[in-house]
Amino acid sequence: MKSVIVIGVTGMVGQAVYQESIKRGYDVKGIARSDAEISIDIKDADILEENLDKYAPDLIINCAAVVDLAWCENNPKEAHDINVAPVNTMANYVRKTGATLVQLSSDQFYPNDLGAIQHREIDSVRPSNKYAENKLDAEKMCRELNAYVVRTNVTGCRGHASLTFFEWATQAIEANESIKGFQDFYTSTIDRHSLARYLFDLVESAATAGIYNIASSQVSNKHEFLSQLAIELGFKGRKIEKCSVDELWPIRCKACGLDVTKIENTIGKKMPDLRQVLKHLIEDRKMTRKGIYV
């Protein structure tokens, strides 16, 4: 049985990855600042290295990140200390032991593009903000390693006081609150449990290390996403106002769609389209409310 450490285990994606590890019979432990089996501050390189050596995982899955773009702009050093520096410690462990690393990345890399473009792993990239810069720096640390860099856009339930995008959207739709959806911000958003499943399918396929897009097969803007979510929730006709992502700070890419041909060919499975993603998200919400994990 392979041993796994999930870093950032209490976060939205980390929870799903941990659950998928258990389903597949791995010996898994989680790392987070608090409320985890291993409660440590990953910004402390010595402590992180000590715990990796102690538990000797065959596989490290790094889900830890600060994804608040404005916070990263306002706190660049702190953002780097969380989003980038710990990856160096993980990379050193992988070099030393021959373990495998999965590094979750981003889709905020295509500032010159517009519309529903699906970007391939080999397309040129350029960071549009500090968060994207962090993620690209972390990707560079994974080069020439036994590492899978997973570019994605993901949402789901977390069950914390601070709501995810999906949790906010469903509450607002059901409460008939005024909602705005960006008509010029395109993503290939996938649900967290599908991401976790395909991530493990990738690792278990023993595919060549490198960059893989794991995302929905369908690119949609946020207005389309929210409008379809309202329909799936039984609120057909619910009005979603159109707006522009230009209203937000800091600047972010408008065309973040991802081409999923490589991952589909690698694991022999089709990525979910928008309706399938939304159905998975609604099921995730139902099960999370019951304290059951899907």
φ/ψ of 60, rounded to 5, equals -115, 130
Please state, in angstroms and rounded to a whole number, the distance separating the CA atoms of residues 168 and 75.
25
Return left, alpha or beta for 35; rule: phi > 0 is left, psi -120 to 50 is alpha, else beta: left
Please state, in angstroms and rounded to a whole number, the distance separating the CA atoms of residues 115 and 102.
29
Helix (H) or strand (E) holding 282: helix 274-290
Burial of 162 (0-12, 13-18, 19+ CB in 10 A): exposed
Residues pairing with 31 in the sheet = 7, 38
Task: Specify the pLDDT at position 1.
Answer: 57
Max distance between CA atoms of the chain, in angstroms, equals: 57
Task: Specify the pLDDT at position 292.
Answer: 64
Count CB-CB contacts under 10 A for residue 151. 25
Distances (CA, A) of 239 to 50, 125, 177, 279: 53, 35, 10, 20
Task: Specify the pLDDT at position 130.
Answer: 98
Task: Specify the pLDDT at position 293.
Answer: 57
Please state, in angstroms and rounded to a whole number, the distance separating the CA atoms of residues 210 and 33.
29
Task: Specify the pLDDT at position 290.
Answer: 79
Contact residues for 237 (Cβ-Cβ < 8 A; gap 6+): none
Give me the residue label for tokens 């589909």.
264
Q: Whole-prediction pTM value? A: 0.97
Question: Could you read off the pLDDT tens digit of each residue along the chain, which spans 294 residues?
Answer: 599 999 999 999 999 999 999 999 999 999 999 999 999 999 999 999 999 999 999 999 999 999 999 999 999 999 999 999 999 999 999 999 999 999 999 999 999 899 999 999 999 999 999 999 999 999 999 999 999 999 999 999 998 889 999 999 999 999 999 999 999 999 999 999 999 999 999 999 999 999 999 999 999 999 999 999 999 999 998 999 999 999 999 999 999 999 999 999 999 999 999 999 999 999 999 999 877 654
In CATH, what class is 3-290?
alpha beta
Burial of 46 (0-12, 13-18, 19+ CB in 10 A): exposed
